Amino acid sequence: MANVVVVGSQWGDEGKGKIVDWLSEKADVVVRFQGGHNAGHTLVVDGKTYKLSLLPSGIVRGGKLSIIGNGVVIDPWALFSEINQLKSLGVDVGPDNLRIAENAVLILPLHQDLDAARENSAGIQKIGTTGRGIGPAYEDKVGRRAIRVMDLQDLDQLDVKVERLLHHHNLLRKGYGLEALKNSDVIDKLKEIKDLIIPYIDSTWLLMDKLRREGKQILFEGAQGILLDIDFGTYPYVTSSNTVAAQAAIGSGIGPKSIDYVLGITKAYTTRVGNGPFPTELDDEVGQRLGEVGNEFGTVTGRTRRCGWFDAALVRQTTKVAGITGIALTKLDVLDGFEELKICTGYKLNGKIIDYLPSSEQAQRNVEPIYITLSGWKESTKGARSWSDLPAQAVKYVREVESLIEVPIAVLSTSPEREDTILVKDPFLR
């Protein structure tokens, strides 16, 4: 058996929630290893819809241990709001099935204040953040002034740590015209939630080492997508963490040799939320149709996603950067009924043909997509559970995608329902 990492191969919103839920049936442990509550997963289980932001998708499955790793930045108020929401839907959530890394960083209200102030003052240079304090929290982490989960267990030392944090933040707040904060403003807020979060705290790296040695099956769940990676994404229109598969090891405290398979979740077309370059974006009725049929609205923000044709050059690039072993292709059914479909195979830039997206923001905006055109299909693929259920042209489209991205299709999803899945290669089997 293998330990599996699931990452998004595009700009996020590829359908990771369903695939992780589908895989979690075989997993003993599901680990979230980066990001915060700026990303969301929608799960449909037995007719019930669950919207998750911080909690690993395995939490809705009985008998699974969920872990929030050290690479995640945690808004404790958002976390317990999510826990209470799940409890209202009949999901059992408690210290027995959820553990939180003691060295994970906390998102505080002052981080959200700073996030909003920056974005509001950016004018046309807005990044398009969710305003939830993710970036400022990561900044404090690397600046070595963050408040971490474990700090809630030692209130005697908290005053000194908050003073160091506010020495930085109050200077920024003054620059943005915000009122300065006192230590008590922060500490009183933390006292509100410390007793809620303390029962969940654990040395999760040690716990996972024990579970691994016992032969437990571990599923690592990423948020967002590789094109939002702080190093390899469309910078500066990216998130504040590494979203590539290698982060699963760093963001959870498990050695890279313990990762056996990387599954890249890939939408059969391309979408993006927020600002930034998007070579295959369609500002026409085709793009509008993709959005409407695909219900392309952000789980967390509700923002309309920008839509375009499948970009094989981009996915080929992200599979190499992340070391993706196999692809789970999702939302094939959204393409039903199109007369023709296009796939981007590369770009033209300054008169030259290139097969990758350059790192330069200006170059990314100037590339012109090179397309091939395939015939569409009129039959429905929705709910297909075997290759024989698919129209011939749909199979041809999938095989063309597979050939162009140079990674095999391991899983094919044909609806939001977990059962509507075609398994080609089981990621959990070596």
Choose the catalytic residue: 37, 41, 111, 169. 41
pLDDT reported for residue 332? 96
Choose the catalytic residue: 13, 202, 229, 420. 13
41 part of the active site: yes
- The Cα–Cα gap between 89 and 99 comes to 21
> If we measure between CA atoms, which residue out of 271, 421, 203 comes closest to residue 333?
421
pLDDT reported for residue 287? 94
pLDDT reported for residue 18? 83
Residues of the chain with pLDDT under 50: none
Q: Does residue 313 contact residue 345 with C-beta atoms inside 8 Å?
A: yes
Give 392's Cβ-side CA count (13 Å radius). 0
111 part of the active site: no
Q: Is the pTM of this model over 0.85?
A: yes
Q: Does residue 52 contact residue 309 with C-beta atoms inside 8 Å?
A: no
pLDDT reported for residue 49? 84
